[in-house]
Amino acid sequence: MRIGRVNEADAITTSRTLRNELWRSIPSGVIDTLTATFGMLIAVRVFHMGDVGKSVFLSATSGGMVASLFVVPLLLRARSTIAHTAAKVQILGGACMAVSAAFPQNAFLYIGGLSLGLFCFTMQIPLLTQIYRINYPAARRGKLYAVTGVTRAAAAMCFGFVGGKLLGWHLGNYTWLLWAFAASGFISGFWTYGLPVTQWEAPENSSTSLWSSMRWVREDEDFRTLLISWMIMGIGNLAAACLFVEYLANPSHGINLSEFDVAWITGVVPVLARVIFSYPWGLVYDHFHLFTVRAVLNVFFAAGILCFYLGHNLFWWTLGMGLWGMANAGGNVTWALWVTKLASKHAVAEYMSVHTFLTGVRGLIAPSLAFGMIKFMSFDMFAIICGLSILSASGFIGVRARTSSESAERLRPGARQERL
């Protein structure tokens, strides 16, 4: 009888988490268009910002990821609930974005408000991953996450289309977009606050030191190997992604497409691919070895980047963004959930904080690196270097998969038992 009650309670928790996450995915999709398209497009076309201002904006999410390393120890000290803490940080992000919307003519407040808002949204990612680990069953975690990913991508695609139309009619309509981003921050916080309350439980060997999470890099060789691979791949991918809008929108590069065309190619096409492929990638994540999934995704990322930059017409730009978006659909699932296959139940947030911290480090490097590289080389050479970097990451984890039977067994489908 007790087992039945536990299973029923778990099912209710899973259902409630999925419901709230589905609703939260709509405002999250709107905010995705800020980072993918509209933030840079407005910076280039409205404020005519230089490389420094654009690099600050592009680095905002990465700065939040770096700060995420310290969120878990602070939460341990506060003894708070995960969902409520994440919600408060999201609402703070919405408030920062509202500052940009309230003073739309001020370039400093535009960059500062949106950057701080994105900083807040990425800072709380490890907390959400911990919630997924506890509230979603292991056998269906990828599929459930992918369902919300489809909704999020659909919302981003629709808003990208509408936003592109608004800017195409009149560039001054960007103010409405800023208010939409701010409102999305508040709405996202509302639905996060309503997630099943998970009281924080200290992981094994827990410490309240701000750097305590880094001990897992030393103690878990598989974790360390995948972090290195992700760093190699991520620098190449993020550097290329930083310049998608810049390449098509900045007249100095010789293309100078209209606002709607830029929004369509960089904001709608890849997100449409995410809508189509998020759910299949969720199933792949649940049924195939993590190393295999990661290696295949790297190939698609590299192919998309090479098509986009080496092809010099509308067809290749669109195809490149489609391939990149397809890879991004699977990349989002694996990026958000892969630590749940390695970490014990209450250590997931710590593992994820290290992962997001290192993602943030490379994200801080990537914009300056990308803008610096195109000053000394063509976009063709830039794309080739990025593509080779991504492909080399597959080779790195391939060596680990062949030489370690323990790793192969640990990360294979069917071995994903709930670790206590």
Residue 3's pLDDT is: 46
- Is the CB of residue 99 less than 8 Å from the CB of residue 109? yes
Between CA 49 and CA 418 the distance in angstroms is 49
Residue ranges of domains in the chain, CATH in brackets = 2-198+208-410 (1.20.1250.20)
Q: How far apart are CA 167 and CA 165, in angstroms?
A: 5
Burial label for 11, CB within 10 Å (0-12, 13-18, 19+), is exposed
**Bridge partners, residue 81, by sequence:** 199
Closest CA to 151 of 322, 336, 278, 265: 278
Amino acid making up residue 118: L
* d(C-alpha 117, C-alpha 93), whole Å: 4
Could you tell me the end-to-end alpha-carbon distance of the chain, in angstroms, rounded to an integer? 23
What's the pLDDT score for residue 118? 94
Phi, psi angles (nearest 5°) of residue 136: -105, 135
Q: How far is CA 167 from CA 109, 159, 170, 196, in A?
A: 20, 12, 5, 39
How many helices (H) does the chain have, and how many strands (E)? 20, 0
The residues with which 199 forms a beta bridge, in sequence order, are 81
| pLDDT, one tens digit for every residue, the chain (420 residues) | 444 554 666 788 889 999 999 999 999 999 999 987 898 888 888 888 887 888 888 888 888 888 888 877 776 666 667 888 889 999 999 999 999 999 989 989 999 999 999 999 998 888 888 888 888 888 888 889 889 988 998 898 889 889 888 888 888 889 999 999 999 999 999 999 998 866 556 555 555 566 777 888 888 888 888 888 889 999 999 999 988 888 888 777 768 788 788 888 887 898 889 889 988 998 888 888 888 888 899 999 999 999 999 988 889 999 999 999 999 999 888 988 888 888 777 788 888 888 888 988 888 888 888 888 988 888 899 999 999 999 988 877 766 655 555 555 556 665 544 455
- For the whole model, what pTM was predicted? 0.80
Distance CA 199, CA 7 (A): 19
Instruction: Evaluate the CA torsion angle 321, 322, 326, 332 in order and state its sign.
Output: positive
pLDDT, position 401: 58
Please give the full DSSP string across 14-61, using - where no structure is assigned.
HHHHHHHHHHHHHHHHHHHHIIIIIHHHHHHHTS---HHHHHHHHTHH
The answer to whether residues 262 and 37 touch, using CB atoms and an 8 Å cutoff, is yes
